Chains A and B, each alone.
Chain A
Amino acid sequence: MFEKNHLRDSASEQRVFQQRMIASLMVFFFLAGILAWRYVNLQVFQYEKFATASDRNRIHTLPLEPRRGLIYDRKGVLLAENQPSYSLAVTLERVVNLDELLIDLQQLFDIDMRSVEKFRQRLNRRTPYQAVPLKFRLNDDEISRFAVNRYRLDGVEIKAQLVRHYPRGEDFSHVIGYVGRINKKEQEKIFSDEQRRINYAATDHIGKIGLENYYEETLHGVVGSQYVESNAHGRILRVLQQVDPLPGGDLQLSVDAELQKNVVELLKGRRGSVVVLDVHTGDVLAMVSAPSFDSNLFVNGISNESYGKLRDSIDLPLFNRSLQGQYPPGSTIKPIIGLAALYHGLITSSSTINDPGWYQLPNDERYHRDWKREGHGDKVDLFQAIEQSCDTFFYDISYRLGIDRIHAFTKQFGLGEKTGIDSFNERSGLLPSRTWKRASRNKPWFPGETLNIGIGQGYMLATPLQLAASTAALATRGKRIEPRFILSDKTPQRSNKEEVGQKDNTNALVNASETGVSSGSSENQLDDIGVSDYFWDEIHDAMKSVVHGRKGTAQAIGRNIKYKMAGKTGTAQVIGIAQGEEYDAEAIAERQRDHALFVGFAPFEKPKFAVAVIIENGGSGSATAAPIARKVFDWLMLNDTNNDNKAKPASRELPVYASNSPLPGVGIVSLNDSEKWVHNAF
């Protein structure tokens, strides 16, 4: 029974099990088929898609920063170079936990909170996969500390970078300006232009002020690119392909570094400005605004403390007096007013006036005083009036000229308008007129105000550069020139920030510097004023007598002089002096003393150099400003006889890190090599 049962059941059990086994195997083959299909689908039908995704994972394009153009003085002295510097940089895309990493890095490299905050700001403005710098100028110790800890610092790298350095930062801060990290506003502007956005992809610094700003497009160069393979942690393993960046164009300035340095020395301890121009070409041979600052401070971000000191200093070291300082020209305006009177036939060289020490307008009780209380005598002619700076004489001819004619004539010397020098932020001074007064003050012009204009006071204001340029125009008998910082035969295409495309601009620059295309001084020359030579001689002779004449206001500097020069002193009031009040320079506070001015040109026979000197609160022009001008002329004339003061591109100083190769890309190779070295070393 049991046996039978067992047999029957065993057979049925066998059947049940076999059914299940067959069903299981069917399911099994079905599932195996699905799996196989899944892999066929991924690996065959979607191959292209995933192959691309895989390459995108590992291959990235990195922009390569072009080497910024170097800046030389007219003799080839290096004024702005690029020095290698190592910075700690973080690529956000590779970082697992930024907050933890930052705390870690802060402890490792002793980074303060402010740097971290600044880093976070930069982080918000970065482009994808851009390594954002956190700490700059790492020393050897910090670099080795990074190497030791690198294994746990995913996404952190040491970036070798060329950083701007100004070997003569103090001397040239107001001329060259400086570069600084690109700020938010600048970044937005760059991003608004697709071509510029690409070109600045690797660039951290941009010209902020001065020539660095004005010639930004020229100096910047064209970005290069690098295709790199990197692992999941962002470590670059090898460079697959590279397009070298095109270095920025070098600038050669018209400024003479040695003269500039001497002038800086002359102005030490003073506030003021000296501008030296070549009267024929407009070359700025020196332009100093004192006090100054070290432009290197700004390159990697100046500390709040240092910046506060500069900003809040009563001496305004950040203020570029040469281009932006507007001063009453004082008596230095007199040669031009005198020329106007001759030109309009109001006087001749033999016309004289009586100077009792004051001047009164008809039907006006007010006394207009001469600086000399007792007056210059009863027969003062134009020659004497300029030589001895007689105010009364100029009150008289100004009154007779009237404001309209003074305005029109003086304007021809470039006063009241920008000189057009190749730098931004130049100010235009102020050449008052009836229209101007009506527009700005809503008042009519009063005759008494004309008298003040005649002696360069009142509303009239001029920048030191304008004074130098108008003096140059006097020296060349009316051939006005546009002052320029770039050596006249090395002019790159002028950078117009809005209009000039980057590529075109750079090409133009390369051509200009290779062929040495001259834009010549004739192009640069403005309208001839059209005054007869006889009148010019009259004014020139009088200005010569200021220095060389026995009674000249600057006769003190004419002693033991080996050449002949022409000049004019000026002493401009800073505070108004009430009617009948005594003026005592000694007694009033230093900051309220008169500004001392001097303008001049030399050599007298064949004018070549024009100089304008302004010493704020310097007292009198003859005592303070004129001796400085003399020393400048001495240097110029001495150098002028020894050599022709021409540029010497052949003897250019070479920057320390690399040769100044004319081949594009060669300069940057050293950077790339060092970058590779950094990657390999760690």
Chain B
Amino acid sequence: MPSEFFRSLPGGSGALRMRPNTWKKFRIDWPLLLLLIMIASYGLVVLYSASGQDADRLGGQFMALLVAFVCMLIAAQFRVKTIKTLAPLAYLVGVLLLAAVPLWGVDINGATRWLDLPGLPRFQPSELMKLAVPLMVAAYLSGTLLPPKFNYLLASFTIILLPCGLIVTQPDLGTSLLVATSGLLVIWLAGLQWRYVFGAVLSVVASAWPLWHFALQGYQRQRILTLFNPESDRLGAGWNIIQSKTAIGSGGWTGKGWLNGTQSQLEFLPESHTDFIIAVLAEEFGLLGVLTLLILYILVVMRGAYISISAKDVFGKLVAGSITFTFFVYVMVNLAMVSGMLPVVGVPLPLVSYGGTAMVTLLAGFGILMSIQSETD
């Protein structure tokens, strides 16, 4: 039985059996906290090297992490019922903000993703949707019997597609796909009928051709083409992939040593401190370093899955499951993208890549997970 399997994991039971209530009192899931701190610390070590030993950048990341962890602990204090109640409001505000982006947004590099509202730091409304969408779908579907009926499914898809459509026009295909993923995961966990799953897969395959020709922008098409043949554009779009694969491959088993990666230190690797940071890790710490990080991520996912399974109500199960697997989708897309398996879509590596906004959303999600865990029996 799966439940017995998860119980044998750290935190499942045993280790701190003496005072689980102390942790529960503060609504903190200590195994999850420990894993996240380990990943974040590992990330800081790598970031120091990847940013060219830039202490300021390291300090900035540390502060961002601190803020994000505080946000996580705050989020953990909300009762699940409250979260469920607030979900529609968050969703509504999010959609309104997204709608405001084309009107009052800030244009950076040809894309309008940021909103600069007076009295608030500049932020991306799409970040909010990463949480608001799964919460909204879960809240909606938990009001009906599972598996959901067709009408409910249709409404759920609408809930998902509305913000995704707004995000994709910014344009920000990567985030839009991730938001859609988090919502779709809820529907999938809620028991979406297999016939719909296969139907969806078939229709995606069928729509690939028109999508390619009409929906994708030129640079997006180029990214995909370059993925399959990076050598076709060595110094252009192919450069990133060639250099990151070279960095990863040349790391070997144990890597070139911290601060000794030639690809990263000699600036051959682009975006080395943001999206491509795993290449720095792979180059300097080798396969062993990569697998260590991957195992930490896997443990986080397993802990999240355990929380989801042991959640006492449907909303909690759906939300916990969605947040957990969306987290893994981030990891997977980033690792696959940097190693040349997926097109470069601009997904940062959770907790490791430099950048504050995404981290706050991510850890707020884990805060919700902790809230759910603290209300299990």
Q: Which residues of A contact B (CB under 8 A)?
A: 9, 12-13, 16-22, 24-25, 28, 31-32, 35-36, 38-40, 42-44, 46-47, 49-51, 53-55, 57-58, 229-233, 237
Contact = CB atoms under 8 A, between A and B. Distances in A.
A21 B309 contact: yes
A186 B266 CA distance: 37
Contacts of B317: 17
A57 B249 CA distance: 13
**In this complex, which of A19, A54, A229, A231 has the most chain B Cβ atoms within 10 angstroms of its Cβ?**
A54
Question: Could you say which of B250, B290, B325 has the most chain A C-beta atoms within 10 Å of its C-beta?
Answer: B250
Given A13-B145, A25-B2, A42-B249, 15 more contacts: A19-B191, A21-B309, A28-B301, A28-B328, A35-B336, A39-B287, A39-B339, A43-B248, A43-B287, A50-B247, A50-B249, A54-B262, A57-B243, A57-B246, A229-B262
A38 B341 contact: yes
Given A13-B146, A16-B147, A35-B336, A47 B266 contact: no
8 contacts: A18-B309, A24-B185, A24-B189, A39-B291, A50-B250, A54-B250, A229-B262, A231-B266
B263 A57 contact: yes
Interface string B277-309: 000001000110011001000100100010011
Contact of B250 (A9, A17, A51): A51
Interface of B: 2, 145-147, 185, 188-191, 242-243, 245-253, 262-263, 266-268, 282, 286-287, 290-291, 294, 298, 301, 305, 308-309, 314, 317, 321, 325, 328, 332, 335-336, 339, 341
Q: DSSP class of B's interface residues: helix, strand, loop or mixed?
A: helix
A31 B243 CA distance: 24
Contacts of A232: 266-268
Nearest to B329: A31
Nearest to B262: A58
A32 B245 contact: no
Given A16-B146, A16-B191, A233-B267, A21 B321 contact: yes
A36 to B, nearest CB: 6
B288 to A, nearest CB: 9
Given A36-B294, A39-B291, A39-B339, A24 B282 contact: no
Contacts of B147: 16
B296 to A, nearest CB: 12
Contacts of A32: 294, 298, 328, 332
Contacts of A13: 145-146, 191, 314
The 10 residue pairs across chains A and B that have the minimum distance between CB atoms: A50-B249, A54-B250, A16-B191, A231-B266, A232-B267, A43-B287, A13-B146, A50-B250, A51-B250, A42-B249
A259 B253 CA distance: 75
B252 A57 contact: no
B14 to A, nearest CB: 21
Nearest to A49: B249
Nearest to B254: A43
Contact of B248 (A24, A36, A39, A230): A39
Contact of B266 (A36, A46, A237): A237
Contacts of B252: 43-44, 47, 51
Contacts of B298: 32
Contacts of B328: 28, 31-32
A57 B188 contact: no
Contacts of A24: 185, 188-189, 305, 321, 325
Contacts of B282: 39, 42-43
Contacts of A46: 249
Nearest to B287: A43
A19 B190 CA distance: 10
Contacts of B2: 18, 21-22, 25
Contacts of A28: 301, 325, 328
Contacts of B291: 36, 39
A636 B340 CA distance: 82
B336 A57 contact: no
B251 A43 contact: yes
B266 A44 contact: no
B189 A17 contact: yes
A35 B191 contact: no
B294 A25 contact: no
A21 B252 CA distance: 35
B335 A43 contact: no
A54 B247 contact: yes
Contacts of B253: 43-44, 47
Contacts of A36: 291, 294
Contacts of A233: 267
Query: Taking each of B245, B246, B268, which has the highest tally of chain A beta carbons within 10 Å of its own beta carbon?
Result: B246
B266 A20 contact: no
Nearest to B3: A18
Contact of B305 (A12, A19, A25, A42): A25
A6 to B, nearest CB: 10
A55 B283 CA distance: 13
B249 A58 contact: no
A51 to B, nearest CB: 4
Contacts of B339: 35, 38-39, 42
Contacts of B251: 43
Contacts of A25: 2, 305
A628 B330 CA distance: 94
A527 B242 CA distance: 73
A35 B332 contact: yes
Given A9-B145, A43-B251, A50-B245, A58 B268 contact: yes
Nearest to A230: B266
A47 B250 contact: yes
A308 B208 CA distance: 68
Report which residue of A19, A25, A32, A42 has the largest number of chain B beta carbons within 10 angstroms of its beta carbon: A42
A12 B325 CA distance: 23
B266 A50 contact: no
Contacts of A16: 146-147, 190-191
Contact of B249 (A12, A18, A53): A53
A16 B309 CA distance: 12
